[in-house]
Chains A and B, each alone.
Chain A
Amino acid sequence: MRCVIGIDLGSTTTKAVILDEDGAIIGRGITNSRSNYELASAVARSEAFADARFRLVAREVRGELDQALLGRLERAFRLEQTLGQLGRLHELIEEEIERRQYGELGPTVREAVGSIVKAIELEERAHFGSENPPLRSSFFRDAVGSAYNRYAEEISDPKGVTFDLLLGLYDKCIIRVENEPMDLGFQELIDNALDRIENPTLMVDAVRAAASTELDEACMVGTGYGRATLPFPKEAIRSEILCHGLGAHAMFPGTRTVLDIGGQDTKAIQVDDSGIVTSFQMNDRCAAGCGRYLGYIADEMNMGLHELGPMAEKSTRCVKINSTCTVFAGAELRERLSLGERREDILAGLHRAIILRAMSLLARSGGIDDEFTFTGGVANNEAAVHALRDLVDENYGQKTLNISPDSIYTGALGGALFAHRLAS
């Protein structure tokens, strides 16, 4: 099967989308971005191909029981990936211990790390063994990082193997795990995953069929935030603006206006009826009013980023915030708090302030036309969506507001669609 691929190298995550010859999505992959852009792209791509293979397998299996089996296979595959990376992390930490020459303490350190790794491994097995594992970040760094922290804290000894020592080893080595290539793709790990679920015949046959299907990559288009050199050939690069426009159009064909609020920038894009960008505006050089601003606020309030929206939604009286400047955010927040304003009301005001910035970019780019599609990380924040809905209603009247649960893939999808055009 001929296919094309689009990759979106963002400031926090890297995404890949694969399309078949008809332009239908056959696979998606995501990973956290890292200093090695080439590797981040390769991982996202490999994840997307694994996803595509699993979809092929799914075509072969239909019954309800088989679906459950397929679920087990996928989880077994994820466990293989995790254990592979965990093993590599362990190896690197051992080497690091060797290099640091802890002397008498050495064996104790080694032992401590060994017990942490063992505990994480057990935890991961339990996680992927469960029918319905709890939701969590799918990135190795996030999942394993928090477990490592927890166990390190538990077993550390202020007089011997300290917490800082253990964490230092982890921090050093996780970066290397993330930035060196590993074989974690479908072809490499699927046999082990099948072994784990004891090779049921039906599944083995479906996997064989899926694995033997040729996925012939005809074309690739990459996009991403322009601050770094993208690891793609020049002719294969499309601007993220164009990709977002086309991707949003593919998700919601009625789209005329797109707002994307990411970590580093905000984009307001107008597209025509075939998804071609007719005008766009980006925030000026400061990051005021971008996702990053919410990050600062979360830090300042000692809260998780995902907790901001729900708390703001509890507000009964939105406080007026005039500055979305990241530099002044903390000061304004503290002054408001010291004046006795409630946290939820301040947060509601902050969300509104961010959306106000976006409204002016939208106005600059030509306003808001029906339908209006909102993408980017901030689109997952209910308070931001609420504020946007209110302001759009007040200023442009009723418009259809589209938000896709898959909006994170908008740029990669647009890239893949450009690749599809190039290939055909």
Chain B
Amino acid sequence: MGRESIIRAAREIYDDLDFQRVRDWLSQKPGTKAVGYLPVYAPRELIHACGLLPVGIHGGGDRVEIIKGDAFYQSYICHLPRSVVELGQSGRLDMLSGMLFPSTCDVIRNLSGMWKMLYPDQYVRYIDVPQIATPEIAIPFWEGELRHLLNDLAKLSGHHPSEDELRASLGLYNEVRAALRELYELRRTRPWDVPTEELYLLMRAGESIPPEDFLAMIQSYFRAIDDEPNRPRDNSRVIVVGSFCEQPPLGLIKTIERAGCYVVDDDFLIGNRFLTEDVELSGDPLSCLAESFVRDAVATSVIYEADPHGKRSEIKDKVDAAGADGVIFAAASFCDPALLDRPMLRTGAEAHDIPCIAFKFSENSGQFQQFREQAGTFSDSIKLWGGA
């Protein structure tokens, strides 16, 4: 398959807010169910192990008109939950049998309660990830939470996975994360060959199809880019920070790259690569998964930073690892985690003379002129003055 047809397929999935691929999957496998999860982190391994299809719900972007969703939210609350409610209220999520709401922020937390009231027949769980760093306390807590969730999901699906089945799911998601790491590494070394728009569309497709299919999709993409290399451009290299929950519209991602900035790292859909190392497969699966979260979670605003120097070095570490020239802080309007973190991250970056710009977006932002200007100027200044 060629690059274009792979991306076209991914884009179709991304564009389809009726989740036809999920519906097809369900109708092909009578008796199975699908479970949705919101950003940022949910243990999809457990959903998968129970024979359920995990479906990432990341809002309606700029593709859904908000009619009912605004009736649930004041103007000073971010856009994601209102489009999620819109999707729900318009019946577009009626193929889901359950929804998981991770402890990303208070808005998503409260949405879990709203969902309970709106859809009393659905399985709804708030996922309270451990916030403390001490493994001896955090791991047993998280393992308990995972066990609770697993039992619930098993009841929902009618299938309680064996240890081997659980382990197989953990292994499969290890493979998915390894593939994503490879994808990111490729973009880091050859950003012209992996435009961020394409990388992003692939990852979005991965949120609505089975992980096995997603792996195959990425593998075919790897082959395609080797067959059809692009020409490098004289762009600057940036990392994008702050878009881990509400997703920027595709137009914004394109705008950044077209304005002359190669995105060489980002935190879009960070939940799909939240665990930075492979989960150990030799011990008790739940305790291994719990341990992996506590020890190897990515540094992001939704998790408490126990290391006092962590915030100050976080951006420097990311910039160094990505070989980037600068940082774009792109946070959703009214996003508490990203916006409260930003002054600390920015101070840390600037202390290391890392050039930064910052803007706010909304998943349905319709005009990119200001982003284009900012990103273009940023890229030019980096090229002119280097990293200083």
Give chain A's interface residues, CB within 8 Å of chain B: 284, 286, 288, 320-323, 328, 331-332, 335, 356-357, 359-364, 391, 395
Cβ-closest chain A residue relative to B76: A284
> Which A residues are in CB contact (< 8 Å) with B62?
320, 322
Complex contact B75–A356 (CB within 8 A): no
The answer to whether A323 touches B75 (Cβ under 8 A) is no
Question: 10 closest Cβ contacts across the A-B interface?
Answer: A360-B70, A363-B71, A322-B366, A364-B71, A335-B367, A322-B364, A360-B71, A335-B369, A284-B75, A359-B67
B67 lies within 8 A of A395 (CB): yes
CB-nearest residue of chain B relative to A281? B71
**Cα(A359)–Cα(B367), bound, Å:** 23
Interface 0/1 of B60-79, CB less than 8 Å to A: 00100111111100110000
Do A331 and B68 touch across chains, with their CB atoms under 8 A apart?
A: no
Given A284-B75, A286-B75, A322-B62, decide whether A360 and B366 contact each other with a Cβ distance below 8 A: no
The majority secondary structure among interface residues of chain B is: loop
* Cross-chain contact A363 with B68 (CB below 8 angstroms): yes
Please give, as numbers and ranges, the residues of chain B lying within 8 Å of A364 by CB-CB distance: 70-71
Kindly state whether residue B276 has any CB partner on chain A within 8 Å. Answer: no
Residues of chain A within 8 A (CB-CB) of B71 are 360-364
Is the beta-carbon distance between A322 and B67 smaller than 8 angstroms? Answer: no
Q: Which residues of chain A are near B69, meaning CB under 8 Å?
A: 360
By the criterion CB–CB under 8 Å, are A332 and B366 in contact?
yes
User: Chain B interface: which size bin?
Assistant: 10 to 19
Q: Report the tally of A-B residue pairs with Cβ distances under 8 A.
A: 46
Closest to A352 in B: B65
8 Å CB contact of B67 from A320, A331, A391: A391
Residues of the A chain whose Cβ atoms lie less than 8 Å from the Cβ of B370: 331
A47 to chain B, nearest CB (A): 39
23 A-B residue pairs with CB within 8 Å: A286-B75, A320-B62, A320-B65, A322-B62, A322-B364, A322-B365, A322-B366, A328-B367, A331-B367, A332-B367, A335-B367, A335-B369, A356-B70, A357-B70, A359-B67, A359-B70, A360-B66, A360-B70, A360-B71, A362-B71, A363-B70, A364-B71, A391-B67
Complex CA distance for A284 and B76, rounded to whole angstroms? 10
Contact A356 B367 (CB under 8 A): no
A395 neighbours in B (Cβ, 8 Å): 67-68
Chain B residue, CB-CB nearest to A333: B367
Q: Report the Cα distance A356→B82, complex, angstroms.
A: 14
| Chain A residues touching B, majority SS | helix
Chain B residues with CB under 8 Å of chain A are 62, 65-71, 74-75, 362, 364-367, 369-370
Q: Which residues on the B side are within 8 Å of A391 (C-beta)? A: 67
Residue of B nearest to A338 (CB): B369
When C-beta atoms are compared, the residue in chain A nearest to B69 turns out to be A360
User: Known: A322-B62, A356-B65, A356-B67. Contact between A284 and B366, CB under 8 A?
Assistant: no
Chain A residues with CB below 8 A from B365, complex form: 322
Expressed in whole angstroms, the minimum distance between the Cβ of A361 and any Cβ of chain B is 8
Interface centre among B69, B367, B370 (most CB of A within 10 A): B367
**Identity of the chain A residue whose Cβ is nearest the Cβ of B89 in the assembled complex:** A363
Min CB distance B130 to A, Å, is 37
Closest to B79 in A: A322
Residues of chain B contacted by A322 (CB below 8 angstroms): 62, 362, 364-366
**Which residue of chain A has the shortest Cβ distance to B363 in the bound complex?**
A322
Q: Which residue of B lies closest to A323 (CB)?
A: B366
If A328-B367, A356-B65, A359-B70 are given as contacts, then 18 extra A-B residue pairs at C-beta distance below 8 Å, sorted by A number, are A286-B75, A321-B366, A322-B362, A323-B366, A331-B367, A331-B369, A331-B370, A332-B367, A356-B66, A356-B67, A356-B70, A359-B67, A360-B68, A360-B70, A360-B71, A361-B71, A362-B71, A363-B67
A-side contacts of B367, CB under 8 Å: 328, 331-332, 335
Q: Which residues of B contact A361 (CB under 8 A)?
A: 71
CA of A332 to CA of B71 in the docked complex: distance in angstroms? 24
Instruction: Name the residue on A nearest B365 (C-beta).
Output: A322
Q: CA–CA, A238 to B161, complex, Å? A: 65
**Using Cβ atoms and an 8 Å threshold, which residues of chain B touch A320?**
62, 65, 366
In the complex, what distance in Å separates the CA atom of A8 from the CA atom of B176?
A: 66
For the complex, give the distance between the alpha carbons of A359 and B366 in Å: 20
Distance between B267 CB and nearest chain A CB, rounded to angstroms: 24
Min CB distance A401 to B, Å, is 17
Cα distance, A319 to B373, chains bound together (Å): 23
The complex places the Cα of A363 from the Cα of B71 at a distance, in Å, of 5
CB closest chain-A residue, reference B70 = A360
Question: In the complex, what's the smallest C-beta–C-beta distance from B60 to chain A, in angstroms?
Answer: 12
- For the complex, what is the distance from the CA of A391 to the CA of B70, rounded to whole Å? 15
Chain A nearest CB: distance from B191 CB in Å? Answer: 27
Contacts of A362 in B (CB 8 A): 71
Closest Cβ–Cβ distance, residue A61 to chain B (whole Å): 53
Q: What CA separation (Å) do A288 and B74 show in the bound complex?
A: 13
In the docked arrangement, what's the CA distance between A356 and B86, Å? 13
Known A-B contacts A321-B366, A332-B367; A360 and B74 likewise in contact (beta carbons under 8 Å):
no
Given the complex of chains A and B, what is the CA–CA distance between A363 and B90 in angstroms?
Answer: 13
A394–B65 CA distance with the chains assembled, in angstroms: 12
Task: Give the nearest-CB partner of B90 in chain A.
Answer: A395
Closest CB-CB distance, A184 to chain B, in whole Å?
A: 44
Nearest opposing residue in chain A for B368, CB measure: A335
Q: Which residues of B contact A360 (CB under 8 A)?
A: 66-71
C-alpha gap A187/B98 in the complex (Å): 75
Cα separation A82 to B267 with both chains bound (whole Å): 69
Q: What's the Cα separation between A363 and B366 when bound, in Å?
A: 24
A286 neighbours in B (Cβ, 8 Å): 75
Q: How far does the Cβ of A153 sit from chain B's closest Cβ, in whole Å?
A: 38
B74 neighbours in A (Cβ, 8 Å):
284
Q: How far is the CB of B115 from chain A (nearest CB, A)?
A: 18
Q: How far is the CB of A127 from chain B (nearest CB, A)?
A: 46
A residues near B364, Cβ cutoff 8 Å: 322
Q: How far is the CA of A286 from the CA of B62 in the complex (A)?
A: 23
Residue of A nearest to B366 (CB): A322
Closest chain B CB from A323 CB (angstroms): 7
Considering the chains assembled together, what is the distance between the CA atoms of A320 and B364 in angstroms?
Answer: 10
> Looking at B68, B364, B365, which has the most chain A CB atoms within 10 Å of its CB?
B68
Q: Which residues of B contact A321 (CB under 8 A)?
A: 366
Name the distance in Å between B320's Cβ and chain A's nearest Cβ.
37
In the complex, what's the smallest C-beta–C-beta distance from B362 to chain A, in angstroms? 8
Give the shortest distance, in Å, between B227 (CB) and chain A (any CB).
Answer: 35
Q: Bound state CA distance, A361 and B72, in angstroms?
A: 10
Residues from chain A with a CB closer than 8 A to the CB of B66 are 356, 360
With both chains docked as a complex, state the minimum distance between the C-beta of B373 and any C-beta of chain A, in angstroms: 11
Q: How far is the CA of A362 from the CA of B66 in the complex (A)?
A: 13
The distance from the CB of B303 to the nearest CB of chain A, in whole angstroms, is 31
Q: How far is the CA of A359 from the CA of B90 in the complex (A)?
A: 14
Report Cα–Cα, A371/B68, bound state, in Å: 20
Q: Considering only CB atoms, which chain A residue lies closest to B62 in the complex?
A: A322
List the B residue with the shortest CB-CB distance to A391.
B67
How far does the alpha carbon of A356 sit from the alpha carbon of B70 in the complex, in Å?
9
Alpha-carbon gap, A80 to B365, bound state (A): 56
Closest to B67 in A: A359
Can you name the residue of chain B whose Cβ is closest to the Cβ of A366?
B71
